[in-house]
Amino acid sequence: MRIIVTGGAGFVGSHLIDRLMSAGHEVICLDNFYTGSKRNILKWLDHPYFEMIRHDITEPIRLEVDQIYHLACPASPVHYQYNPVKTVKTSVLGTMNMLGLAKRVKARFLLASTSEVYGDPDVHPQPEEYRGNVNPIGIRSCYDEGKRIAETLSFDYHRQNGVDIRVARIFNTYGPRMLENDGRVVSNFIVQALRGIPLTVYGDGSQTRSFCYVSDLVEGLIRLMNGEHTGPINLGNPDEYTILELAQKIQHMVNPDADIKFEALPQDDPKQRQPDITRAKTWLCWEPSIPLQEGLKLTVEDFRERINNS
């Protein structure tokens, strides 16, 4: 099968490409390298079934493919807030371009949406039926509302033009190849602990998150793409931890002497985040299998190796 992965040189995209290439597919990676890295896909560059195209998806592109995994969009607050207008363009124009391509060539299209569509939820855990509590004018809105309109576009192309779509709502994901400077909580704590500087907890650390290891997420994406259900489907690990618990886990694992410091909570930071994965279990026979302790160990090893070699 001939498959496009937009954002394929990024953290999740490159792990997905590893799986697709290992399964014998022809894979085209589209990436403008805003947050992606060629290092993540280096091993495939000379493979006859792999093609790398440096391309910004806010511009149209013509290709012949069977499936499109649409992952392109900066997904961490540091990167999506750096250029919020570009983030919106990527979610809106980029998604329209990829849906237009899917319509022309009759490809199946999977949108990597996000748990951020639920905003700061007042329903817990979050089922797919919940419509969210999102601030449309806040500093996170470029990403939150961008992904909400990307979902709208996907379903409108499906209803109006018969495009075969799949929508995944991805919850916090971690693992090797995360960027050191992406501002996400797992990478922040690991890098700070490895460098012997205090681990920064925002607020009192009582806000919760659920952490899914990247290989589990990739398995869910592939099952969704090749299954019969449109979605949206939550993909994430339902085990819930406070941010302070995560900081202490990483502190004990990496550097027990590291301090923990508390700073003011950023605007619109969600107080709770936990997926209801009933649909994923029922429709995809999917649930995460990698426990947090094991996943963190693999992630710490990857960061340690990169920091030591830099």
Could you write out the DSSP letters of every residue in 246-286? HHHHHHHHH-TT--EEEEPPPTT--S---B--HHHHHHH--
How large is the average pLDDT for residues 249-275?
A: 88
Return the domain boundaries, the chain: 2-173+213-237+274-288
What is the dihedral angle through the alpha carbons of 295, 301, 303, 309, rounded to the nearest 10 degrees?
-160
Catalytic residue among 69, 80, 118, 143: 143
The pLDDT of residue 269 is above 80: no
The pLDDT of residue 231 is above 80: yes
CB-CB contact of 250 with 206 (8 Å): no
C-alpha of 262 from chain center: 26
How large is the average pLDDT for residues 282-309?
A: 95
Fold of 2-173+213-237+274-288: Rossmann fold (3.40.50)
Active site residue 143: yes
Q: How confident is the model at residue 181 (pLDDT cuts 50, 70, 90)?
A: confident
Interatomic CA distance for residues 286 and 217, integer angstroms: 10
Q: What percent of the chain has pLDDT over 70?
A: 99
pLDDT at residue 308, rounded to an integer = 83
Q: What is the pLDDT of residues 133-157, one digit of tens each?
A: 999 999 989 999 999 999 999 999 9
Least confident of 41-45, 106-110, 146-150, 176-180: 176-180
Q: What is the pLDDT of residues 54-103, one digit of tens each?
A: 999 999 999 999 999 999 998 767 667 778 999 999 999 999 999 999 99
Closest CA to 210 of 183, 257, 167, 174: 174
Q: Within 13 Å, how many C-alpha atoms sit on residue 289's CB side?
A: 7
Of 74 and 165, which is predicted with more confidence?
A: 165
